[in-house]
Amino acid sequence: MNYDVIVVGGGHAGVEAALSSARMGNKTLMISMLAENVGATSCNPAVGGLAKGHLVREIDALGGQMGLITDDAGIQFRILNQTKGPAVRGSRAQIDMDKYRVIARNTVLNTPNLDLVQEMVESLIVEEGEVKGVKTNLLNAYSAKKVIITSGTFLKGLIHIGEIKQEGGRFGEQSSRSLSDSLLACGLEMGRLKTGTCARIDASSIDFSVMEEQPGDAVPSPFSFRTDKKEFVKNKKQLPCFIAYTNQTTHDIIEGNFYRAPMFTGQIEGKGPRYCPSIEDKINRFRDKDRHHLFLEPQTMDATEYYINGMSTSLPPDVQQDMIHSVHGMENAKIVRYGYAIEYDFVDPRELRHSLETKKVKGLYLAGQINGTTGYEEAAAQGLMAGINASLSLQEKEPLVLRRDEAYIGVLIDDLVTKGTKEPYRMFTSRAEFRLLLREESADTRLSYYGNELGLIDDEVYAKVVLKNKQIKEGALALEETKFTPNKEFIAFLATMDEEPIKDVSTAQQLVARKSFDVEKMVKLMPEFEQYEEYIKEEILVEGKYARYIEKQGEEIERMKKYLRVTIPEGFDFKSVSGLSKEIVEKLETFNPPTLQAAIGISGVTPAAIEILHIYIKIAKNRR
């Protein structure tokens, strides 16, 4: 009953937290309400997407599991925003939900140092402000030096289907009331959020012939850089999705039943996700739209049941039937599972340090939806970092805190702990100031050093990343140093590629920066690049095209680093700083940022205030 680390919850955050903790040498216990639901994908049958794909790649680069499971369980792979710049493209995979859950659970059960028990945690054991373990519904007491709570939507979970309300953390599973009370008793600020899901329908009752087919990419790209790409492309079987549309009849049915919609009647109190609204919310907010996209996604490789992406709802069952039957191709659809909304408790993430340890209870870490996020990927990223930092703390080492210029994970956590959230937080590329540096394809070269140092990425795998990075840098340097003169021969050569002539001496980098230049043209220009694998060539091209912009972002980062090195002393008196407004002082006292960089991220804290604070910190240090 004695462990180094206890992980409460077996969702995506819990899986990553438990695996990282165990793999870093800690005796770890995962406590889950239902052992068979470890790794369950409660909502949509997909992993990744815009910005979310970046998170999965970064989880993988650090040694996490989500990318590997997705590659194994994936049934369709697509790169979104393919025609746009490399910084905003996003990988997305449809998954076999059943297979994903089985792989996740078996990985947990087969990992050394990791135990799994099916119980419900009812309270924390806390002594003198430090967590000592947990107590469960079976009256078992488990002791641990670190506890990571990844409770998802289970804290006082309340399900809404029309006028019907029932307690539950997921449909058919009970909610956790007492653990929420235990967290509140620790002095943690808590709130209420809402999310939801759509109906699932029987595939045999759908007329796909009148819908638009949406296939996967002809050459699928795996999420994990540890997956053998050639074998993956050769063996991966893919299924199509289908696109349908709502119509005026659908809208009339929904609008005519607003009076029965829990989110409009006041039945639901929690704030829902802004960027993943329910269908009734969309109809209410976007009355000028004649129709809305619906994506029918297979839930398993057998494709017997489909998820209606875009039709999340908490309307009553009879209304759900009518609105689904109004859609062309779903006139005879049989509903297998009705959609519902769920309200749940969350902890204000400003209660956390950047390590995801709570400020008020030593050794207690929180990860996932309990911190106000939405989505499998955001949860998994937090779970991984909580597991890593709990382990580092046990080793008496400094926590791993990724910077905003290092990773989307750094942006995610920094946003949460410095700014907090009043609605479910979702990651977007627009949230990252340095997204050109944080491309999906560079995740391994950016972060696998940390994974290797932590023991989560082995030396053989890491050696391949080192080689990849070396080749990309060599190629980028060659583009920068190779020069061409505007003589007849070279101008004629450019003409063979339908390229405009040059008037002055130009570098290869200047040429590949042209919008018209692709990998094929770059290799013709630089034949020595033929030796590289295709993905290396693509990265060299990106480095060449965006060299000036990457350089500018690098300069900006260097300017910021002077603040990264400045820590704010424990117990620093912000009120003593002359020149700070009362509002800024209050925010600094509330967030208690550990560094000036963290202070910069607080909404309303100005650059001028940072400069003043910097001077006073220097004065305080000199006095000591």
In a domain, 600, yes or no: yes
- Considering only 75-79, 365-369, 577-581, which range has the smallest mean pLDDT? 577-581
In a domain, 118, yes or no: no
Q: What is the reported pLDDT for 607?
A: 67
**What secondary structure does DSSP assign to 404-430, as a single string?**
TTT-HHHHHHHHHHHH--SS-B---GG
pLDDT at 601 over 80: no
Same domain, 479 and 609: no
Mean pLDDT of the chain: 94
pLDDT at 253 over 90: yes
What are the φ/ψ torsions at residue 413 (nearest 5 degrees)?
Answer: -70, -40
Look-up of token digits 């970092």: 385
Tokens of 539: 């990265």
**What distance in Å separates the CA atoms of residue 290 and residue 252, rounded to the nearest whole number?**
11
What are the φ/ψ torsions at residue 317 (nearest 5 degrees)?
Answer: -55, -45
Eight-state DSSP code of residue 190: E
Q: What is the reported pLDDT for 241?
A: 98
**Residue 484, beta-bridge partner list:** 506
Tens-place pLDDT, residues 555-587: 777 776 776 678 898 889 999 898 888 878 988
Tens-place pLDDT, residues 264-304: 999 988 888 877 789 999 999 898 899 999 999 999 999 99
The answer to whether 172 and 272 are in contact (CB under 8 A) is no
Same domain, 207 and 315: yes
C-beta contacts of 272-277 below 8 A and 24+ residues apart: 272/193, 272/194, 272/195, 272/196, 272/341, 272/423, 272/424, 273/195, 273/374, 273/423, 273/424, 273/426, 274/423, 274/424, 274/426, 275/426, 275/428, 276/195, 276/312, 276/374, 276/424, 276/426, 277/312
- Considering only 433-447, 501-515, 610-624, which range has the smallest mean pLDDT? 610-624
Q: What is the mean pLDDT of residues 366-381?
A: 97
Q: What is the mean pLDDT of residues 393-421?
A: 93
Total domains present in the chain: 3
Q: Are strands 335-337 and 340-347 parallel, antiparallel or unpaired?
A: unpaired
Q: First and final CA of the chain: distance in angstroms?
A: 46
In a domain, 298, yes or no: yes
Same domain, 604 and 480: no
Same domain, 587 and 477: no
**What distance in Å separates the CA atoms of residue 399 and residue 417, rounded to the nearest whole number?**
15
Eight-state DSSP code of residue 38: T
**What distance in Å separates the CA atoms of residue 366 and residue 131, rounded to the nearest whole number?**
13
In a domain, 386, yes or no: no
Same domain, 570 and 501: no
Same domain, 248 and 220: yes
Question: Which ranges constitute the DSSP H helices of 326-458?
Answer: 376-394, 408-419, 443-454
Q: Distances in Å between the alpha carbon of 442 and those of 16, 400, 435, 535? A: 21, 19, 11, 11
Q: What is the reported pLDDT for 603?
A: 67
Q: What is the reported pLDDT for 604?
A: 67
Same domain, 258 and 333: yes
- Dihedral in degrees, nearest 10, Cα atoms 21, 25, 27, 28: 10
**Chosen domain end from 294, 320, 341:** 341
CATH assignment at residue 576: 1.10.150.570
Q: Distances in Å between the alpha carbon of 90 and those of 60, 446, 603? A: 15, 17, 28
Tokens of 504: 């002055």
Range of the domain at 613: 565-623
What are the φ/ψ torsions at residue 414 (nearest 5 degrees)?
Answer: -65, -40
pLDDT at 608 over 80: no
CATH assignment at residue 479: 1.10.10.1800
The dihedral of CA 368, 373, 379, 383: what is its sign?
negative
**What secondary structure does DSSP assign to 92-120, as a single string?**
EEEE-HHHHHHHHHHHHHTSTTEEEEE--
Same domain, 466 and 502: yes
In a domain, 438, yes or no: no
What are the φ/ψ torsions at residue 158 (nearest 5 degrees)?
Answer: -130, 115
Q: What is the mean pLDDT of residues 74-103?
A: 94
pTM reported for the whole predicted model? 0.90
**What distance in Å separates the CA atoms of residue 370 and residue 352, rounded to the nearest whole number?**
11
Contacts of residue 137, Cβ cutoff 8 Å, sequence gap at least 6: 119, 120, 122
Same domain, 214 and 322: yes
Q: What is the mean pLDDT of residues 102-110?
A: 98
| Element housing 74 (H / E) | strand 74-80
**What distance in Å separates the CA atoms of residue 314 and residue 141, rounded to the nearest whole number?**
38
**What secondary structure does DSSP assign to 501-527, as a single string?**
PPSS-EEHHHHHTSTT--HHHHHHH-G
C-beta contacts of 462-465 below 8 A and 24+ residues apart: 465/225
Q: Whose CA is closest to 151, among 414, 466, 364, 445? A: 364
Eight-state DSSP code of residue 169: S
Q: What is the mean pLDDT of residues 530-534?
A: 93
Same domain, 480 and 597: no
Same domain, 204 and 321: yes
Q: What is the reported pLDDT for 599?
A: 84
Amino acid letter for position 77: F
Q: What is the mean pLDDT of residues 110-131?
A: 97
**Chosen domain end from 341, 362, 396:** 341
Look-up of token digits 């390229």: 499
Tens-place pLDDT, residues 52-69: 999 999 999 999 999 999
**Chosen domain end from 501, 532, 553:** 553
Same domain, 298 and 235: yes
Secondary structure tally for the chain: helices H, strands E: 22, 22
Tens-place pLDDT, residues 11-60: 999 999 999 999 999 999 999 999 999 999 999 999 999 999 999 999 99
Tens-place pLDDT, residues 181-228: 999 999 999 999 999 999 999 999 999 999 999 999 999 999 999 999
Q: What is the reported pLDDT for 622?
A: 81
In a domain, 255, yes or no: yes
In a domain, 496, yes or no: yes
Contacts of residue 403, Cβ cutoff 8 Å, sequence gap at least 6: 410, 564, 597
CATH assignment at residue 241: 2.40.30.260
> When comparing pLDDT for 1 and 564, which is higher?
1
> When comparing pLDDT for 604 and 145, which is higher?
145
In a domain, 364, yes or no: no
The answer to whether 346 and 155 are in contact (CB under 8 A) is yes
Q: What is the mean pLDDT of residues 469-489?
A: 95
Q: What is the reported pLDDT for 564?
A: 63
